[in-house]
Amino acid sequence: MLLERFLRYVKIDTQSDEESSTSPSTKKQYDLLNLLNEELDNLGVKSSLDEYGRLYAKVEGNKAYTNIGLCAHVDTALECSGKDVKPQVVKDYDLKDIPLGNSGLSLSPNEFAKLKELKGKTLITTDGTTLLGADDKAGVAIIMEVLENYLKIETKNRRGLSILFTPDEEIGRGPEHFDPVKYGCEFAYTIDGSEPEAIEIENFNAKSASIKIKGKSIHPGDAKGVMINASLVLAEFMNLLPKEMIPSKTSGREGFNHVVSISGDVENASAHYILRNHDSKILSKQVEDFENIKSKLEKEYPGSLISLQIADQYRNMAEVIAKHPECKNHIEKVFNRLGFKYVYKPIRGGTDGATFSFKGVPCPNLGTGSYNHHGRYEFAVLEEMEKMVQIGLEIFKL
Ligand SMILES: [Zn+2]
């Protein structure tokens, strides 16, 4: 059953680790990967868990059609512990505040408006001491449940199903070692969003910028005309960037420059930024801003050394999907066949699927029926997860 399956998965600690250079980044992600491998085995499905912690499985369908893929990630976010998760199941929700264990925290419809729509539903919450890990174990549970039901359909009446479970999505390394041939599908869907009605085919284009400034240090008493304080030059650099283009002042398809960290003294100062925009042309302009400010300050402070390093992170899958619209047309057909409403939502972030798209497998993102990811207020809605199983299954029906 979906609920038991989900509860079984969230109790396993699978947090990834940004500091690690191994793949997967943490051994404990195998605790869930091995269990999934075993469960696939028990269902009689051929699977292979590779040396980097990528778990692939494939089931045959009607040979006249290409395979379609489903994908979810097993790791959980870094912002909050995923150890000893003690999920609470709230049946027949009455729209009141839900106390999260003995933590003193509570989930309130006044704070989280989504709850107001959920009268009578079954909610799964945390006990206030950890995250829930519905991101993305709701996705994992939905895919396993789709698979169980899929196997009951006659082979000739279904399309082939390719499954992929990845580690390390939360540290941006999910698509590492991705093997499109092994995956063996024409297109795929990640099950890693929130609302079941949302279809996500656009995400940010993403770059990072690293600024390093070398100043000139001298005793402050003798500094006139000589000292270049690297920290002050950095502050000026930051102030010259567009003031409105920051995460707290943007939404929808508006991009931003976000300073993640700064450090500095008189001799050295540095800052790390992430740059995001759905429109790659505007993103190029954001990069130009950084380059222009660098030249301006170099002229103003001869004798200082300013280095600027821009790196590519991920790209907007929309450009791939525009060229290969089958994945979009197919999922629209699925929603229409079921009589479900859908809405397109631009992702203000990235997904594994964005990178898969550029590696030859166009891959929109679908919902999980879970909300408030990455923290103690995370919760899942059982009925919405069930709806996702229905949608997931319909994808493969001829
Ligand atoms: Zn996720």
Distance 355 CA to ligand 1 centre (A): 14
Q: Which residues surround ligand 1, an ion (CB under 5 A)?
A: 135-136, 192
Tell whether 174 and 70 lie within a shared domain: yes
Of the residues 281, 314, 347, which one is the last residue of a structural domain? 314
Residue 157 has, within 13 A of its CA and on its CB side, a CA count of 7
Cβ 340 vs Cβ 395: under 8 Å: no
Q: Which residues contact 122 (CB under 8 A, 6 or more apart)?
A: 3, 89, 90, 91, 92, 93, 381, 382, 383
Of the residues 272, 289, 314, which one is the last residue of a structural domain? 314
Per-residue pLDDT of 143-191, as tens digits, reads 999 999 999 999 999 999 999 999 999 998 999 999 999 999 999 999 9
Distance 170 CA to ligand 1 centre (A): 7
Per-residue pLDDT of 282-302, as tens digits, reads 999 999 999 999 999 999 999
At 131, is the secondary structure helix, strand, or coil?
Answer: coil
Tell whether 72 and 89 lie within a shared domain: yes
Per-residue pLDDT of 245-295, as tens digits, reads 999 999 999 999 999 999 999 999 999 999 999 999 999 999 999 999 999
Per-residue pLDDT of 59-106, as tens digits, reads 999 999 999 999 999 999 999 999 999 999 999 999 999 999 999 999
What order of strands is seen across the sheet that includes strand 205-214? 256-264, 268-277, 205-214, 305-314
What CATH number does the domain containing 350 carry? Answer: 3.40.630.10
The whole domain housing 343 covers 2-202+316-394
Distance 366 CA to ligand 1 centre (A): 11
The structure tokens 């778990």 sit at 55
Tell whether 310 and 321 lie within a shared domain: no
Cβ 257 vs Cβ 241: under 8 Å: yes
Tell whether 142 and 21 lie within a shared domain: yes
Q: Residue 141 — pLDDT band, cuts 50, 70, 90?
A: very high
Q: How many helices (H) and strands (E) does the chain have?
A: 10, 18
CA dihedral 278, 280, 283, 288 (to 10 degrees): -170
Distances (CA, A) of 92 to 96, 212, 386: 11, 55, 16
Tell whether 38 and 163 lie within a shared domain: yes
Distance 373 CA to ligand 1 centre (A): 8
Of the residues 314, 340, 356, which one is the last residue of a structural domain? 314
Residue 304 has pLDDT above 90, yes or no: no
Tell whether 346 and 213 lie within a shared domain: no
What CATH number does the domain containing 286 carry? Answer: 3.30.70.360
Q: How many CB atoms lie within 10 A of CB 339?
A: 6
Q: How many CB atoms lie within 10 A of CB 318?
A: 19
Tell whether 231 and 95 lie within a shared domain: no
Distance 72 CA to ligand 1 centre (A): 8
213: β partners: 269, 306
Tell whether 73 and 185 lie within a shared domain: yes
Tell whether 79 and 182 lie within a shared domain: yes
Cβ 225 vs Cβ 303: under 8 Å: no
Distances (CA, A) of 81 to 16, 18, 19, 263: 11, 14, 16, 27
CA dihedral 138, 139, 143, 148 (to 10 degrees): 0
Total domains in the chain come to 2
Tell whether 254 and 186 lie within a shared domain: no
Distance 303 CA to ligand 1 centre (A): 46
Q: What is the pTM of this model?
A: 0.90
Catalytically active residues are 75, 169
Tell whether 39 and 178 lie within a shared domain: yes
Residue among 183, 234, 231 at smallest CA distance from 57: 183
Distance 374 CA to ligand 1 centre (A): 9
Residue count (the chain)? 398
Tell whether 300 and 230 lie within a shared domain: yes
